[in-house]
Amino acid sequence: MIEVANLTKRYGATLAVEDLSFSVERGEIVGFLGANGAGKSTTMRILCGALGATSGTAKVDGIDVMEDPKAAKSRIGYLPEAPPLYLEMTVRQYLRFCARIKGTANPSEAADKAIGRVGLASVAHRIIGNLSKGYRQRVGIAQALVHEPQLLVLDEPNSGLDPKQRAEIRELIEELAAGETTVLLSTHVLPEIEALCDRVIIIDHGRIVAQDAVEALGGGMGVIKLVVAAPSAELAAKLEALDGVNAVKAKGDGVYLVETQRDLRAEVARTAVDAGLLELSSQRQLEDVFLRLTGGAA
């Protein structure tokens, strides 16, 4: 569905995206992960035709975005970081307008359908400028899917939403992807990616540093937090001796952080049980991978 090859974008002397290549299959949900300024938005904007690339190609459904922008864009629904809303219009007017410029056969019907899908029926007649941030974000998403595109590109669809709204948006994206829709979404909220995505692409300073299935990337790498009643140097040594443990840090008060290469919770528990194991928890593994790859690790 998406084929990006050797994409480079330069702003003056700054290199925003450097030689980026990746592809996304039809029906996949792929998460774009990276720190602020890593080049996520730039890549998405190039893919959606808002920005020209310095070099390289971006294809959607086999169509080059630069060569045949109209055909490519009619297949894409794009939600920018800031939802592009005309605040003086009502939700329904706005979505009808979007449906018209995106070339749907029946704009009113398409708008009503999008309103239903995103749960905007109760505010459809209201002026967008008077809506809360959560509703505005939903109008932005409705705009992206009003022409039922094959590909949804969502730039931080969850920013500024409360947990309930996040869960709703997540459900909506899952529902869309259960159909034929391909989804590329960016976020820096890691649990979102783990909950939603089949695959993650991690970028840093405009370059891809890892791309794989969520499980494979998480792959047991992580940190196990351990609390024991009777801490001792002997315990630390025993833990360190386990196969697959990288390091053990004693944090005092019986708290240990055990860095592991794979899932070692069972082994660690067995070792620590004699020292009076009180608590064992596994920290977010993806987060760890992310920090390690983007050089943000402590």
Partner 1 sequence: MRALAIAQRELSSMFASATGWLVLTGFLAVAGLFWSLSLAAYVDYSQQAMVTPYLASQLDMTEHLISQYFGSIGILFVFICPALSMRLFAPEVANRTLELLLTSPVSTADIVLGKFLGALGFTATMLFATAPFPLMLWQWGNPDLGAFVTGYLGTLLLAGALLSMGMLASAFTRSQIVAFMLAIAGALILWVLQAMGTDSWQAELAVVPHAQDMWRGIVRLSDLTYFAAFIGFFLFATHQRVEAHRWS
Binding residues (CB under 8 A) for partner 1: these are 45, 48-52, 69-71, 73-74, 76, 78, 80, 82, 84-89, 93, 97-98, 100-103, 143
Question: For residues 95 and 221, which CB has a smaller minimum distance to partner 1 in the complex?
Answer: 95
- Tell me the closest approach of the beta carbon of residue 5 to partner 1, in angstroms: 19
22 touches 211 (CB < 8 A): yes
DSSP string, 38-61: SSHHHHHHHHTTSS--SEEEEEET
135 has which bridge partners?
Answer: none
Coil, helix or strand for 192? helix
CA separation for the pair 160, 46 (Å, rounded): 24
- Give the start-end residues of each E strand in the chain: 2-11, 14-24, 29-33, 55-60, 63-64, 76-79, 151-155, 182-187, 199-204, 207-213, 222-228, 245-252, 255-260, 277-282
| Cα first-last separation, the chain | 37
Nearer to partner 1 by Cβ, of 84 and 219: the residue is: 84
Among 190, 159, 198, 195, smallest CA distance to 291 is for: 190
Rounded to whole angstroms, the Cα distance separating 271 from 248 reads 13
Number of residues that make up the chain: 298
Distance between CA atoms of 148 and 99, rounded to whole angstroms? 10
The DSSP bridge pattern shows strands 151-155 and 76-79 to be: parallel
